[in-house]
Amino acid sequence: MEPFSSLITPDKNSKQPVYIQIANQLMELIRKGFLQTGYQLPSSRQLADSLNVHRKTVVRAYEELLAQGWLESRIGTGTFIAAHFPEIKPQSSLTEPLGNNNSSKKAGFTFEEKPHLNRAVIKNNIKLHLDDGFPDPRLAPLEELSRAYRTQLLTGNPYVRLGYGDTAGSYWLRKELSAYLNETRGLKTSPENILITRGTVMGLYLASTGLLKKGDSVVLGELSWSSATGNFLQAGANVVKIPVDEFGIDVEALEKICKNQAIRMVYVTSHHHYPTTVALRADRRIQLLHLSEKYGFIIFEDDYDYDFHYLSKPLLPLAGADRSGMVLYCGSFTKAISPAFRVGYLVGSENVISYLAQLRRIIDRQGDTMLENAMAELLQNGVIQRHLRKSLRTYRNRRDYFCGLLKTELDNYLHFQKPDGGMAVWTEFDKKIKLKDLSEKALKNDLFFSDGSENNSPTEIRNATRLGFASSTTEELEQCVGIMKKLLS
């Protein structure tokens, strides 16, 4: 009985029942070869006395292992290790604790960790923030959304309402979204042209996985969204970078590349280029569409914050002028409502949307039907439209106030152009300032902003970052700038 009392050590303070602990530890002894096929276990009374537990506890442990096929009972003889196990030679000493192989931290198999996946996750646990350009969830129509969500949960046929739905997304939302996009963005869509996603990242992943082959070339701006780059690299594509200036991506540089090699896709944030926020100029838009038709490449248009343009009416997307079916248009409600509500959309030709919906099914059967229908109700009732108009005024005021603070308080340390739209200011710091150090010091003072390292390349340190203003009140923005000024002085 000595090996059992030393190797089986139930913890009576654990939330896991003691009989399960005993059963699991006996299984581990069998798996490791310490208890071989045909070995007779002590009686339940003997083991209970050895472990200082109630006999019924051991009986339940034996019954559990008998039911799972680890043990077999022979009438009049006792309980034995089941005969169907192969002979296992013990790999370690009997005196070593069970499960001491650190498998919860390190797998027993090898795998390749890809550098493009190694990105820090932004966490919203800092008091003050000049983030990447996020909305202020305090402005979101949460009461209306809550009521609409509750309605979807409680009314209608529960078998239909709470069962499996269309992989492409709620038809109601696709119908309302089609009308909304046609009215506000000059698109010509039907519900069949729309795939509901969990955000722009899912749209990118589906397009990359479904439309790119290993070795295909994808063109992006030298300054671009790292999530887009990561998706293309994950798909095995060759990423080709082209210059970006104050008018967006350099389309003439793109044409030179097209003359020398096949391009499968061009990724563009045409309305507010990420991260610089500049708009793609009208002549370049026309030329980009022309090149797409001429050379046959897909345009993936990421319109991540279309609704927030302050100088004039928002510029219409490339997708609205696409007559050849070359543009995939992607957006989401993340910037309109809040990042927590994962509802986005991918717009394209019907055959492509149908195909990508089939692909979506193997990674995510469907989205949150309740949330999608709730969003459809808010679109139908004009709640989202009114919220966007109100938010636009608020964010414009915050942009103006923040840019004024940067100019009056930090003019000696940084340079920026007041953005025509978007929710962040592209800010270039003096070369003498170590942006990484400044970001780390700010964090210790309860202020978060990116150190801009993901905007750098092996050949150029840009010393620039996006400073988001939309998610903070004017009072909070004043505190943020005050902390930066103190750290820079």
Residues 166-187 pLDDT 10s: 889 999 999 999 999 999 888 9
Q: How much is the pTM?
A: 0.81
Structure tokens, 229: 């780059």
Q: Across the strands, what pairs with 71? A: 81
pLDDT score recorded for residue 347: 96
Q: Are the CB atoms for 41 and 62 separated by under 8 Å? A: yes
Work out whether the CA dihedral 44, 50, 56, 62 comes out positive or negative.
negative
pLDDT score recorded for residue 100: 52
pLDDT digits (tens, 9 = 90+) for 316-335: 889 988 889 999 999 998 88
- Tokens 């692909």 label which residue? 359
Banded model confidence at residue 269, pLDDT cuts 50, 70, 90: very high
Task: Compute φ and ψ for 56, nearest 5 degrees.
Answer: -65, -25
pLDDT score recorded for residue 113: 80
pLDDT at 97 over 70: no
Angle (nearest 5°) at CA 27 between 66 and 57: 60
With H, G, I as helix, E, B as strand and everything else as coil, classify residue 428. strand
pLDDT at 101 over 80: no
Q: Are the CB atoms for 269 and 303 separated by under 8 Å? A: yes
Banded model confidence at residue 304, pLDDT cuts 50, 70, 90: confident
Cis peptide bond upstream of 275, omega within 30: yes
For 353-423, list the strands marked E by DSSP.
414-416
pLDDT score recorded for residue 95: 55
Q: Are the CB atoms for 225 and 233 separated by under 8 Å? A: no
3-state helix, strand, coil in the chain (%, to 5): 45, 15, 45
Q: Which range among 111-125, 269-283, 452-466 has the greatest average pLDDT?
A: 269-283
Q: How far apart are CA 100 and CA 7, in angstroms?
A: 12
- Identify the structural domains of the chain with CATH numbers, from first to last: 2-81 (1.10.10.10), 128-133+386-488 (3.90.1150.10), 141-381 (3.40.640.10)
Tell me how far CA of residue 304 lies from CA of 190, 301, 364, 414, 419, in angstroms.
21, 9, 22, 26, 15
Q: Across the strands, what pairs with 238? A: 217
Q: How far apart are CA 453 and CA 278, in angstroms?
A: 20
Q: What is the mean pLDDT of residues 354-362?
A: 93
